[in-house]
Structure 1
Amino acid sequence: MTRTVEPFLGEVTALILRMGGCCEAILAKALRALFERNAELAHEVRHDDLEIDRLDVAIDEAVLRSLALQSPVADDLRRLLAANDIGTDLERVGDLARNIAKSAVRLSERPPVAIPAQLEALAVECQAMLREALDAFVHRDAARARALMAQDDRVDDDQDRVIRLALDEIRVHPDQYQQEVDLILVAKHLERVADHATNIAESVILLVEGRNVKHAEKFARSAGA
């Protein structure tokens, strides 16, 4: 790594760590608002998301300054672009938390329905994946990142299970369809959080090993077809 690029990489890394902490906190707050039917807490999420947006802009600016002033190549360029991708994924996690908070507000305004244990389990699983992705980034741990990527299919299955339960409830209690639709939306948002955690894991592998593993499984299936 060239000495002149190190300050930019250090700045971007520090920003990502701050942003990651904000994302974990805002997601936890949105889910707490959902499970506790706390509209006031849900409204706080919109304000909290502004800080994530500011950090995302700061990461973009730091990367652009490095590109303009240092013209990094090879490993340095790869590290900068991978870090920028992580910032983008974290910003989208913030957006998803805000969407969950919107559902929390709507649910708090309607007659309560039972929240399935499977949705609560999905929330815990997706929060853990985000935390694991950030830990893999902090420790530059490609093996940890690969282990996280293997969890993505299970999250897809768990999301489908929640959706099927909600659809069953709509058939039995059609008057609750609005609430059940919001629970479906929350499940989909959580699955997207897991997708972004997986993207971060892929970026960690690119950072550590210089290997682009995005879509690798899809390409492998296509080659074997």
Structure 2
Amino acid sequence: MEQRAHFSKKLEDLKIMVLRMAALSESAVHKAIKAYLENDADLAEAVIVGDDVINEMEDEIDIFSLELLALDQPMAVDLRTIIGAQRITVNLERLGDEASNLAHRAMFLSTRPPMPHNPKMEELASTVTLMLSDALKAYVDDDVALAGQVCRMDDKADDLNIAILRQLASEMVTESRIVERGIHAIIGARHLERIGDLATNVSESVVFIVEGTSMKHNCRG
């Protein structure tokens, strides 16, 4: 019984580590989006510098998880908890990368005249930040239903990304002076869409942990 309690404490410690990393990744995403939408170069630079901390946390969690697998040889839901945490950590690191990538776009665009106001870009940003928030809440609460909602929202993010691409392409055809900025804006929208994809991946891992069902590539059903 004492051994079981000790192992359960290790699993709790693992989840706390993942949630600390999640808080950093989510903060980086919010800051990058703010920098991108408001042409804030200083905030963008802070996001880029902070990515190293997220990478270091991934390494720490990876080592901790592998030790749990090697020394305790968990089974069933305990095994899924560890593997799921590893999967989520990989996606959190990628979220940090996407935030950094978006911040680089923000830094470039901050040196150029502002692009025309694009409500769809703001809607895409709001959509993916909600997806990420809900995906992390689903992990905290083991909420499969909420994880499923995140998966279904990914279609909206995809549609908005396509709409932005079409709108910017049309604007670049009629106004050659915005071509350079338009290309960077298109890439920025792609980074936002990828954030939605990664939130979906986190939700898939929640379903795997709770139900033992692999939802890879089939989360929207």
TM > 0.5 between the two?
Answer: yes
CA–CA distance in structure 1, aligned partners of residues 148 and 35 of structure 2? 32
1:223: which partner in 2?
A: none
Q: Does 1:124 align with 2:117?
A: no
Unaligned runs of 5+ in 2: none
Match in the other structure for 2:164: 162
| In 2: Cα distance, 1:192 partner to 1:217 partner | 15
Q: Which amino acid aligns with 2:189?
A: A
Cα pair 1:8 1:62 within 8 Å, conserved: no
| Corresponding residue of 1:145 | 147
Offset of residue 217 of structure 1: 6.3
Contact 2:35 2:44 in 1 (8 A): yes
Q: Is 1:110 aligned to residue 112 of structure 2?
A: yes
CA pair 210-52 structure 1, distance change in 2 beyond 3 A = same
2:19 to 13, 17, 22: 17
Summarize the alignment of residues 1-225 of structure 1 with structure 2, pairs less than 5 Å apart. 2-216=4-218
SS in 1 for 2:112: coil
- For 1:89 and 1:183, locate their aligned partners in 2 and report how far apart those are by CA, in whole Å: 24
Deviation at 1:50, TM superposition (A): 1.5
Shift of 1:188: 0.7
Shift in CA distance, 110/152, structure 1 to aligned 2, threshold 3 Å: same
Q: Following the alignment from structure 2 to structure 1, what is the Cα–Cα distance between the partners of residues 139 and 84?
A: 11
Q: How many residues align?
A: 219
Query: Unpaired segments of 5 or more residues in structure 1?
Result: 221-225
Higher mean displacement: 3-12 or 125-134: 3-12
Give the drift of 1:112: 2.0
Is the Cα contact below 8 Å between 1:145 and 1:201 reproduced in 2? yes
CA distance in 2, matches of 1:33, 1:203: 30
In the alignment, the residues of structure 1 paired with residue 149 and residue 121 of structure 2 have an alpha-carbon distance, to the nearest angstrom, of 23
Shift >2 Å, 4+ stretches: 1-5, 215-218
Query: What is the alpha-carbon root mean square deviation over aligned residues?
Result: 1.7
Normalised TM-score (structure 1) = 0.92
- Partner of 1:91, secondary structure, is helix
State the secondary structure of the residue aligned to 1:187. helix
The CA deviation string for residues 179-225 of structure 1, in whole angstroms up to 9 with x for no partner, is 1111111111111111111111111011111111212369x9xxxxx
Q: Percent identity?
A: 36
